[in-house]
A and B are shown apart, each in its own frame.
Chain A
Amino acid sequence: MSQFLEISGLCAQIDADGQDKQILRGVDLSIPPGEVHVIMGPNGSGKSTLSYVLAGREEYVVTAGSATFHGQDLLAMEPEERAAAGLFLAFQSPIELPGVNNANFLRTAVNAVRRARGQEELDAVAFLKMAREAAKALSMAPDMLKRNVNVGFSGGEKKRNEVLQMTLLQPTFAILDETDSGLDVDALRIVAEGVNRLRAPTFSALVITHHQKLLDYLVPDRIHVMARGRIILSGGPELARQIDQEGYTKFLAEVA
């Protein structure tokens, strides 16, 4: 059977001040269905870039390699097509949309994805019922649906809002970019619980972090270490604890 997510030899660059800057230098990674994988690595190793490339940010130019999702060429798809195909990116810092009502945004997104998946669109009443229930399950304040998307949200509220979107869009593959939020324990727990709730044989997740802390709430199947635009090492959950105790230096030295 074809793998769920297959990344092979992926290279990508970005235009930085008029110069091409190579960030991914041949990433190989495969994630089977039903598993949670973690990517760790020092700052600047390309972790967030990988998540953006997979989600389709146009500033990143893929120069070599491939990525397939459910056997489809992921890199040929528009960002919204990837979303419809079941890929969800939880942003490291969720974007604010001034003046855009959260409920309206969520419903527009949910119906766009449902339409693309051949499902019936939800009318306002049905949608609001579903959204309110999901929000309640996440202990979100009732007025968060009425507020503007992420505008004036606290860090925790933003994370809850990301998880709410993830719950409603029902992805089969979630990328959680948590590189910089490692110290906010509450925020991490919200994200971890959101992922745990979705765990199923058909759902996988890729969690990006450089802190062991997140893994206290989330039991991963595999750990990958990324450095200089490549996955340099993979292993079981014990690898994360080892890194936490010994730092990256040793691992980087070993592969250098």
Chain B
Amino acid sequence: MPAVTQTREAVEKLGQSSYKWGFETDIEMDMAPKGLNEDIIRLISSRKEEPEWMLEWRLAAYKTWQAMTEPKWAKVTYPPIDYQDAHYYAAPRKKPGPKSLDEVDPELLRTYEKLGIPLHEQAMLAGVEVPEGERMPVAVDAVFDSVSVATTFRKTLEEAGVIFCPISEAVREHPDLVRRYLGTVVPAGDNFYSALNSAVFTDGSFVYVPKGVRCPMELSTYFRINAKNTGQFERTLIVVEEGASVSYLEGCTAPMRDENQLHAAVVELVAMDDASIKYSTVQNWYPGDENGRGGIYNFVTKRGICRGARSKISWTQVETGSAVTWKYPSCILQGEGSVGEFYSVAVTNNRQQADTGTKMIHLGRNTRSTIIAKTISAGHSDSTYRGLVRVQPKASGARNFTQCDSLLIGDQCGAHTVPYIESRNMNARIEHEATTSKISEDQLFYCRQRGLSEEDAVGLIVNGFCRDVLKELPMEFAVEAQKLLQISLEGSVG
């Protein structure tokens, strides 16, 4: 069963809400008035019953943000955002509203029906092979608009010593841990959106894996924007101690709306000696309609630091949603022999724009990084890979390999590759390759001669093109991602 299905069912079982994929869910909301000012930040902080230091941290971030301007260097265009015209806090009231299928948009139901494919069969054919003993249950934290609504499997995790809870709860229950790490990887003033997030973040997940513990299950967070005119500013902090490891999945959806909605998350990862963090994302925020109306603005700062020797951080993302994506999951490779990985598939169709990539900052000796980025553009969309590989003077023996491939479907889209390669160490080795092409007529014809429709043939070839990335995803996500790719490209051929 796809992870999102599992997530939904897990949440429903808890009886927390009428959580359906169906899109807008009619729940009574506790909502702050529109606008952003110190009072709103105080309100958020008090609703969250936060300690004083947290409020001060937010207010400082707010001051920083006020002095900043939106970054303009990405290859995306969108009308100016009125930051005062959004709600910065929205939470479901305790009592859930009535449950009704009528509320569900049939178009989206259809979409998710397509996702509800028999998993094991697909997995077998897709060549995703997971040894029997490797299958792990998934613990879920679901974030509904601004609030974490349910975290599952907490008891099992507690027994292993793993903390997995909403970050708002962590601020209250584990203040020392949060205070020690929050903002150390992505400082509040890192960029415009991280400053905004630091001021107004309302929820997100906190994970702490103590020394030597291999997290007994996959952890998953499921984000959903539901309420109208709500920004979503979740904050995720994952700290993995010496010799410990965790695999974390993140799924995102949002209802179809005419207006654009802002999503500005911050994710921070910290890996100590020999620790390993695998962070997988399937981003399927509403991309807007074929005329570019509506859709999510996804301005996200994700960064991990490999603090310890031989630590490893691996980002895998499949980006099919959002009207505008601005996102560069990065690794600071500080510990000697630490490893950073970035595997990405970004698909844009219709009027979508994506400017995404990574930064690999090599600070320590013998650090290694791998970047595999696959970009697919269709319709009138534009997709850009933007990545930085920087080797600092002390990073002797550093290695990087980068492969960026772009596929264009149709002659009204654009695919762009903008790598930045900076080396200040003669004993580092960097290799970068990039290609841009279209699906070959030979391949299409071959598939069609074997009976596949043109659309299915494109889907099959695109999935093949993305294979190197998809195989990095945990199995549940891999199958879901394959289907998403196909759905995202519907209507792009013929």
Q: With A59-B441, A124-B124 known to touch, is A100 a contact of B464 (CB < 8 Å)?
A: yes
A124 adjacent to B125 (CB under 8 Å): yes
- B446 lies within 8 A of chain A by Cβ: yes
A99 adjacent to B451 (CB under 8 Å): no
- B24 lies within 8 A of chain A by Cβ: no
Complex alpha-carbon distance, A108 and B461, angstroms: 12
Q: With A107-B125, A124-B121, A148-B464 known to touch, is A95 a contact of B452 (CB < 8 Å)?
A: no
Complex alpha-carbon distance, A83 and B274, angstroms: 54
Complex alpha-carbon distance, A5 and B478, angstroms: 44
Closest chain-A Cβ to B289's Cβ sits at a distance in Å of 28
Tell me the B444-478 residues at the A interface (CB within 8 Å): 445-454, 456, 460-461, 463-468
Q: With A108-B460, A146-B127 known to touch, is A99 a contact of B465 (CB < 8 Å)?
A: yes
**Which of A57, A146, A148 contacts B445, CB < 8 Å?**
A57
A83 adjacent to B449 (CB under 8 Å): yes
Q: Mark B436-447, 1 if CB is under 8 A from A, else 0.
A: 000011110111
Q: How large is the interface on A (under 10, 10 to 19, 20 to 34, 35 or more residues)?
A: 35 or more
Which chain B residue shows the least CB distance to A83?
B451
Please name all residues of chain B whose beta carbon is closer than 8 Å to the beta carbon of A105 when the two chains form the complex: 447, 450, 460
Closest chain-B Cβ to A161's Cβ sits at a distance in Å of 11
Q: With A59-B441, A109-B452 known to touch, is A97 a contact of B126 (CB < 8 Å)?
A: no
Which chain B residue shows the least CB distance to A128?
B124
Q: Mark A68-112, 1 if CB is under 8 A from B, else 0.
A: 000000000011101110001101001111111101110111101
- A123 lies within 8 A of chain B by Cβ: yes
Please name all residues of chain A whose beta carbon is closer than 8 Å to the beta carbon of B121 when the two chains form the complex: 123-125
Please name all residues of chain B whose beta carbon is closer than 8 Å to the beta carbon of A125 when the two chains form the complex: 121
Q: Mark B114-148, 1 if CB is under 8 A from A, else 0.
A: 00000011101111000000000000000000000
Complex alpha-carbon distance, A153 and B461, angstroms: 18
Please name all residues of chain A whose beta carbon is closer than 8 Å to the beta carbon of B120 when the two chains form the complex: 124
Q: With A59-B441, A99-B463, A124-B121 known to touch, is A104 a contact of B126 (CB < 8 Å)?
A: yes
B125 adjacent to A100 (CB under 8 Å): no
- A113 lies within 8 A of chain B by Cβ: yes
- A169 lies within 8 A of chain B by Cβ: yes
Please name all residues of chain B whose beta carbon is closer than 8 Å to the beta carbon of A83 when the two chains form the complex: 448-451
A97 adjacent to B449 (CB under 8 Å): no
Closest chain-A Cβ to B131's Cβ sits at a distance in Å of 15
- A232 lies within 8 A of chain B by Cβ: no
Please name all residues of chain B whose beta carbon is closer than 8 Å to the beta carbon of A100 when the two chains form the complex: 460-461, 463-464, 467
Complex alpha-carbon distance, A80 and B452, angstroms: 6
Q: With A80-B448, A91-B446, A101-B127 known to touch, is A112 a contact of B463 (CB < 8 Å)?
A: no
Closest chain-A Cβ to B447's Cβ sits at a distance in Å of 7
Complex alpha-carbon distance, A98 and B120, angstroms: 23
Closest chain-B Cβ to A95's Cβ sits at a distance in Å of 4
Please name all residues of chain A whose beta carbon is closer than 8 Å to the beta carbon of B456 when the two chains form the complex: 108, 112
B127 adjacent to A104 (CB under 8 Å): yes
Complex alpha-carbon distance, A195 and B228, angstroms: 63
**Which of A59, A98, A99, A169 contacts B450, CB < 8 Å?**
A169
Complex alpha-carbon distance, A101 and B447, angstroms: 13
**Which of B125, B442, B466 contacts A99, CB < 8 Å?**
B466
Could you tell me the dominant secondary structure of chain B's interface residues? helix
- A55 lies within 8 A of chain B by Cβ: yes
- A209 lies within 8 A of chain B by Cβ: no
Q: With A104-B125, A107-B125, A124-B121 known to touch, is A97 a contact of B452 (CB < 8 Å)?
A: no
Closest chain-A Cβ to B446's Cβ sits at a distance in Å of 4
Q: With A98-B464, A104-B125, A104-B127 known to touch, is A109 a contact of B451 (CB < 8 Å)?
A: yes
Tell me the A193-240 residues at the B interface (CB within 8 Å): none
- A165 lies within 8 A of chain B by Cβ: yes
Q: Count of B residues near A, CB < 8 Å?
A: 30
Closest chain-B Cβ to A93's Cβ sits at a distance in Å of 9
Complex alpha-carbon distance, A153 and B447, angstroms: 17
Of the listed residues B126, B441, B451, B460, the one surrounded by the most CB atoms of chain A closer than 10 A to its CB is B451
B449 adjacent to A79 (CB under 8 Å): yes
Which chain A residue shows the least CB distance to B124?
A124
Please name all residues of chain B whose beta carbon is closer than 8 Å to the beta carbon of A78 when the two chains form the complex: 448, 454
Please name all residues of chain B whose beta carbon is closer than 8 Å to the beta carbon of A123 when the two chains form the complex: 121
- A116 lies within 8 A of chain B by Cβ: yes
Please name all residues of chain A whose beta carbon is closer than 8 Å to the beta carbon of B466 when the two chains form the complex: 99
Q: With A94-B446, A97-B446, A105-B460 known to touch, is A112 a contact of B465 (CB < 8 Å)?
A: no
Please name all residues of chain A whose beta carbon is closer than 8 Å to the beta carbon of B449 when the two chains form the complex: 55-56, 79-80, 82-83, 88-89, 91
Complex alpha-carbon distance, A181 and B49, angstroms: 77
Which chain B residue shows the least CB distance to A90?
B449
Which chain A residue shows the least CB distance to B465?
A99
A99 adjacent to B124 (CB under 8 Å): no
Q: With A112-B451, A112-B453, A146-B127 known to touch, is A99 a contact of B445 (CB < 8 Å)?
A: no
Q: With A57-B445, A94-B446, A95-B442 known to touch, is A113 a contact of B451 (CB < 8 Å)?
A: yes
Closest chain-A Cβ to B467's Cβ sits at a distance in Å of 3
Complex alpha-carbon distance, A100 and B120, angstroms: 18
Of the listed residues B125, B449, B452, the one surrounded by the most CB atoms of chain A closer than 10 A to its CB is B449
Complex alpha-carbon distance, A96 and B465, angstroms: 12
Complex alpha-carbon distance, A88 and B449, angstroms: 7
Complex alpha-carbon distance, A124 and B440, angstroms: 28
Closest chain-A Cβ to B167's Cβ sits at a distance in Å of 38
A80 adjacent to B453 (CB under 8 Å): yes
Complex alpha-carbon distance, A91 and B442, angstroms: 11
Please name all residues of chain A whose beta carbon is closer than 8 Å to the beta carbon of B445 when the two chains form the complex: 55-58, 79, 95
B451 adjacent to A116 (CB under 8 Å): yes
Please name all residues of chain A whose beta carbon is closer than 8 Å to the beta carbon of B442 when the two chains form the complex: 95
Which chain A residue shows the least CB distance to B459?
A108
Complex alpha-carbon distance, A78 and B448, angstroms: 8
Please name all residues of chain A whose beta carbon is closer than 8 Å to the beta carbon of B122 when the two chains form the complex: 124
Closest chain-A Cβ to B156's Cβ sits at a distance in Å of 31
Please name all residues of chain A whose beta carbon is closer than 8 Å to the beta carbon of B446 when the two chains form the complex: 91, 94-95, 97
A97 adjacent to B461 (CB under 8 Å): yes
Tell me the A17-43 residues at the B interface (CB within 8 Å): none
Q: Mark A181-192, 1 if CB is under 8 A from B, else 0.
A: 000000000000
A112 adjacent to B460 (CB under 8 Å): no
**Which of A79, A88, A97 contacts B448, CB < 8 Å?**
A79
Complex alpha-carbon distance, A103 and B464, angstroms: 13
- Sampled A-B contacts (8; CB under 8 Å): A59-B441, A78-B448, A95-B442, A100-B460, A109-B447, A112-B452, A124-B122, A124-B125
Which B positions have Cβ atoms within 8 angstroms of A?
A: 120-122, 124-127, 440-443, 445-454, 456, 460-461, 463-468
Known: A80-B452, A104-B125. 13 other contacts (CB 8 A): A56-B445, A56-B448, A58-B445, A59-B441, A80-B453, A82-B449, A83-B451, A98-B467, A100-B461, A100-B464, A103-B127, A104-B126, A108-B460
